[in-house]
Amino acid sequence: MNKDYYQILGVTKNATADDIKKAYYKLAHKYHPDKGTGDEKKFKEINEAYQILSNREKRAQYDQFGRVFSAEGGPAPGGDGFSDFQWAWGNPRQGFGNNVEFDLGDLGEMVEEMFGFGGGSNSNKRKRDLKRGKDIEIAIEINLEDTIHGIDKEISLLKYVDCSRCDSKGAEPGTKIKECFSCRGTGEVQQVRKTFLGSFTQWTICPECKGEGYRPEKPCNVCKGEGRTQNQEKIKIRIPAGIDSNQVIKIDLKGDAGRRSGKAGDLYARIIVKKHPLFNRKGDDLYFFAQIPFSRAVLGGEVNIPTIDRKDISLKVPQGTESGKILRISDKGITRFSGRGRGDMYVQLNIKTPDRITRQQKELLEKLKKEGL
């Protein structure tokens, strides 16, 4: 009976190459004989399934006929899947078995995923990351009125800054910076790791020089060789018009200074727009609730309405206005973030019912009542 390789790996027939690879990594990690959850028989099946489904031609044969007709389709002669796995690590140019192709880059990813380390292909990036300063995120509160024209905010931030004594080099002035003795200036050292795959050598960041390849002959007395110190720095941030709550402004290179002339991190300012006592904001539009007397609603007229610009405007109330009616005032909302015009202002008219009335008002209302109003 033919084996269902898709079922063995737990993927569908429409699975992509990446899906198959991820499923294989997960199962190989779980069922390896040297692990507590290991199962040698299951591990062999998983390797056999992957050897077929990871090869485009063999997978096509298997999908069409339910089997692979090449005599070399299974594990290498005399092998058991696991032996091939170990052998391929020691012979990276040969692959698995006699003709099974296996991407050793993929194997490196698997090893890194299992043990938390990888080869030296990303060493330059890691060295840059070690020297780079950290990003900083802050929150800045502004008023709703500030979103109309934008505003400049100056903040004082405690952060790492370049050391002025050593000019961020980390060495005491007048002393030399020498090649690291441990790594001979490469910034990397070899480490031998033992795993169930056997022993192998990898390159890692040098712990003595932190991957830089050099060390100060005499560390700076102020920064202790770091090339940076903690201090308060004043930073001016331009907050553009139209910004809304929880939008983030990025200020390049204003995060923590890097170690020994390393690149600085970035500053991220999250904007919080405070609630306004009169206006509600929805996107670029503003909403205002205005109370008008009964007589104004019936007869019509004009009412003064405040705006976010702090200038009152006159709004015409149509005759026979019902409570809850909404009127629109163009271009009196928030400045659009694109800078192209402003949103609108919507005024909801609510008829005000007085709690107390004078005797004269009561008499007038009684007359209106008789008239059917």
- Summarised one tens digit per residue, pLDDT across range 218-249 is 999 999 999 999 999 999 999 999 999 999 99
Would 122 be classed as within a structural domain? no
Q: What is the pLDDT of residue 88?
A: 37
Q: What is the pLDDT of residue 96?
A: 40
Same structural domain for residues 110 and 162? no
CA distance 242 to 95: 59
Question: Of 273, 302, 318, which closes a domain?
Answer: 273
Same structural domain for residues 177 and 109? no
Would 334 be classed as within a structural domain? yes
C-alpha 133 chain-centroid distance: 18
Q: Is the dihedral of CA 13, 14, 20, 22 positive or negative?
A: negative
Per the model's pLDDT, the better-predicted residue between 142 and 22 turns out to be: 142
181-190 tens-digit pLDDT: 888 888 888 8
pLDDT reading at 275 higher than 80: yes
- What is the share, in percent, of the chain residues with pLDDT greater than 70? 82
pLDDT reading at 106 higher than 50: no
Same structural domain for residues 335 and 352? yes
Residue 101 belongs to what domain range?
5-116
Contact 305, 315 (CB under 8 A): yes
How sure is the predictor about 343, in pLDDT bands with cuts at 50, 70 and 90? very high
Would 205 be classed as within a structural domain? yes
Same structural domain for residues 76 and 167? no
CA distance 43 to 345: 68
Same structural domain for residues 11 and 79? yes
Would 248 be classed as within a structural domain? yes
Would 126 be classed as within a structural domain? no
CATH of the domain at 246: 2.10.230.10
Q: What is the pLDDT of residue 227?
A: 95
Same structural domain for residues 140 and 267? yes
Same structural domain for residues 112 and 237? no
Can you tell me which residue has the tokens 């003709």?
A: 99
Same structural domain for residues 262 and 295? no
How sure is the predictor about 40, in pLDDT bands with cuts at 50, 70 and 90? confident
Q: What is the pLDDT of residue 1?
A: 53
Question: Of 234, 250, 273, which closes a domain?
Answer: 273
Nearest to 348 by CA among 330, 331, 323: 323
Same structural domain for residues 289 and 344? yes
Same structural domain for residues 326 and 310? yes
Q: How many CB atoms lie within 10 A of CB 82?
A: 19
CA distance 136 to 263: 14
Question: Rounded to 5 degrees, what angle do the CA atoms 210, 215, 217 make?
Answer: 155
Work out how many domains the chain is built from and give that number: 3
CA distance 13 to 10: 10
Question: Of 214, 238, 273, which closes a domain?
Answer: 273
Q: What is the pLDDT of residue 201?
A: 72
CATH of the domain at 333: 2.60.260.20
Same structural domain for residues 252 and 308? no
